Each structure stands twice: as structure tokens, then as C-alpha cells.
Amino acid sequence: MKRYLLIIIISLFTSCSKSSKTEQKNPILISHDFAEFPGGTKALDHYIKDNWQWREPKDTVESNVFMHFVVRENGEIADIGISRTNGCKSCEEEAFRLIKGMPKWNPAIKNGKAIDQRVTIPIMFQSSSIK
């Protein structure tokens, strides 16, 4: 069975914003508690490994796909996109699928109130032939 190397590093960038149903305020630069996958980083790693369906292409691949999304104040994932990639389409598709299928996150908290927060996760894809 082919083995894939998967490295997850969660990077929370300073793109927080208070949520309002009628208007969006200017970004908040500091949050007291950052948005978090339920169970933390280890649980996120298990989620990725348990749901990994990337079909390794015939060509040798080593790719980092940086995915960004917003964790809404209710924990839902929204506004999924690719921040940076080297163009590996199968990697981009798998990263998008994984993020889209995630359960609700624990939202960021600012002054005791849940807020929207942008999260960026780099996902590394590496062909088994590279190892």
C-alpha cells in the first residue's frame, strides 16, 4: 500500500473580523482565543489522515497547497480558497475536498463573544517515490 507523507501546520493569520448580519466591520488584528478544530491539532491530523483520498499521479509530486477559509462565529467553514500552490491540480482538489468536508470548528473568541476568523492551513503532498 502506498504511503503518503502529510504534514499539517496550522497558521492563523490576522484576518479576523467581527460578524454582523447587516455589516462587516474592519478586521480585528488580535483574537483572545483562535478558532480551533474540535479536539485540537492532533484531531485535525487524524481527520486528514482518516479522510485522505488523494490518488498519487504518475509524475513525481511534491507540493504544498495553502488553503484558507473562514471559521464563522457559529463554527461553520466558509469562503474556502487556495492561497498558494505550485499548480498540482489533484493536490488542490484533494485539499479543497478535505476542507469542505470538515466538521464545525470551535470559533475564535474576542471579549467573550464568538467572531469570524480566517484560517490558513498548508497541506503537503509528496509522492511515495520521493521518500
| pLDDT tens digits, one per residue of 27-58 | 555 547 999 999 999 999 999 999 999 887 77
CATH number, position 91: 3.30.1150
- Indicate whether 90 belongs to any domain: yes
Region 97-109: what's the mean pLDDT? 97
Confidence band of 24 (pLDDT split at 50, 70, 90): low
At 107, is the pLDDT very low, low, confident or very high (cuts 50, 70, 90)?
very high
Q: Identify which has the larger pLDDT, 67 or 7.
A: 67
Residue located via cell numbers 476568523: 117
Instruction: Name the domain count of the chain.
Output: 1
Domain assignment present for 7: no
- Give 120 or 19, the one with higher predicted confidence: 120
Residues 6+ apart with CB under 8 A from 89: none
List the end-to-end C-alpha distance of the chain, in Å, as a whole number. Answer: 14
The DSSP call for residue 67 is E
In a domain, 5, yes or no: no
Instruction: Tell me which residue of 41, 38, 39, 13 sits closest to 27, measured CA to CA.
Output: 13
pLDDT at residue 131, as a whole number: 54
The per-residue pLDDT for range 46-98, each reduced to its tens digit, is 999 999 998 877 776 788 999 999 999 999 999 999 999 988 899 999 999 99
In a domain, 64, yes or no: yes
> Does residue 21 lie within any of the structural domains?
yes
Say if residue 6's pLDDT is above 90.
no
Which residue type occupies 76? E
d(CA 91, CA 64): 8
Q: Which domain holds residue 70?
A: 16-126
Nearest-angstrom CA–CA distance, 69 and 86: 19
